[in-house]
């Protein structure tokens, strides 16, 4: 009888230790997000939901990895203006190929290949009391939100710098916003200015056009 009790107790201890070991076991996964053309999709948010939940981002090559997972976990990619195929994947053990395809225009935009905003007709008017900066902005892409920055890395004679921003969130495609700009209420006395227009791509501001203007 004592031997039977001992065997039952031993089996119970083994079962308990086995359960604790499985509970503490963790695993890692990795994958890559690509566009429909096979290009990497950077800065995609990767959500993971399960016993452990959180998020990470894809790198410049569209790659991501997640460690310390336990149990069944849903992997869900998210990106503004993008759909993904599949919408989610469920994992429960190590997997090096949890891949997705990003479907959407934002995922394929490259400002060096597809400029979205153009700077035209730059005009600077300087007087002894103020300097006005203006230009036209043409939207030749499909993203409507932009901001214009005019600046110079050098200080003027009074030790000041120009670094002002004009923003406009509504500029339809193939339309032009004329006379965009602002006025500094002092003489700047710069030789060179940079007009830079930025647009939002993959949740970050990207330069899509730059014009260097020399003062008269």
Are 206 and 125 found together in one domain?
Answer: yes
pLDDT in the model for residue 187? 62
The closest alpha carbon to 56, from 73, 71, 39, 72, belongs to 73
Contacts of 176-179 with CB under 8 Å at 24 or more apart are 176/120, 176/136, 176/137, 176/138, 176/139, 177/136, 177/137, 177/138, 177/139, 178/121, 178/136, 179/134, 179/135, 179/136
Q: Is residue 10 part of a domain?
A: no
Tens digits of per-residue pLDDT, 133-182?
A: 888 888 876 555 677 777 776 665 666 666 666 666 667 777 888 888 77
Are 121 and 210 found together in one domain?
Answer: yes
Going by the DSSP 8-state scheme, the letter that residue 38 receives in this structure is S
For residue 8, what pLDDT band results from cuts at 50, 70 and 90? low
Q: For the chain, what is the domain count? A: 2
Predicted structure pTM score: 0.45
CATH number assigned to the domain comprising residue 89:
2.60.40.1120
Mean pLDDT, residues 65-94 taken together: 91
113: Cβ contacts below 8 Å, ≥ 6 apart: none
Are 145 and 210 found together in one domain?
Answer: yes
Are 121 and 208 found together in one domain?
Answer: yes
pLDDT in the model for residue 23? 46
Are 51 and 121 found together in one domain?
Answer: no
Question: How, if at all, do strands 54-57 and 45-49 pair?
Answer: antiparallel
Tens digits of per-residue pLDDT, 179-206?
A: 887 777 666 666 677 777 777 665 666 6
Mean pLDDT, residues 92-118 taken together: 73
Residue with tokens 């429960």: 92
Residue with tokens 């394929």: 108
**Three-class secondary structure of residue 21 per DSSP:** helix
**Three-class secondary structure of residue 184 per DSSP:** strand
Are 78 and 141 found together in one domain?
Answer: no
Are 153 and 182 found together in one domain?
Answer: yes
Q: Is residue 52 part of a domain?
A: yes
Mean pLDDT, residues 74-91 taken together: 89
8: Cβ contacts below 8 Å, ≥ 6 apart: none
Is it the case that residue 127 has pLDDT exceeding 50?
yes
Going by the DSSP 8-state scheme, the letter that residue 106 receives in this structure is G
How far apart are the C-alpha atoms of 147 and 115, rounded to whole Å?
15
How far apart are the C-alpha atoms of 182 and 178, rounded to whole Å?
12
Mean pLDDT, residues 49-74 taken together: 89
- Structural domain including 90 reads 27-108
């Amino acid at each position: 009888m004592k031997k039977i009790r001992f065997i039952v107790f031993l089996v119970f201890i083994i079962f308990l230790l086995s359960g604790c070991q499985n509970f503490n076991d963790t695993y890692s996964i990795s994958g890559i997000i690509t566009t429909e053309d096979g290009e990497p999709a950077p800065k995609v948010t990767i959500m993971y939901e399960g016993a452990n939940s959180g998020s990470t981002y894809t790198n410049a090559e569209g790659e991501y990895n997640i460690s310390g997972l336990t149990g069944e976990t849903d992997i869900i990619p998210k990106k503004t203006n993008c759909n993904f195929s599949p919408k989610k994947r469920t994992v429960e053990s190590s997997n090096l190929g949890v891949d997705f395809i990003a479907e959407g225009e934002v995922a394929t935009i490259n400002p060096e290949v597809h400029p979205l905003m153009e700077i035209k007709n730059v005009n600077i008017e300087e007087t002894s009391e103020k300097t006005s900066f203006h230009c036209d902005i043409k939207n030749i892409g499909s993203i409507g939100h932009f901001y214009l920055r005019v600046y110079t890395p050098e200080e003027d004679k009074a030790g000041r710098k120009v670094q002002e921003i004009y923003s406009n969130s509504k500029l339809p495609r193939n339309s032009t916003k004329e006379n965009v700009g602002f006025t500094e209420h002092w003489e700047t006395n710069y030789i060179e200015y940079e007009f830079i227009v930025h647009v939002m791509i993959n949740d970050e501001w990207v330069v899509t056009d730059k014009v260097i203007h020399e003062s008269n």
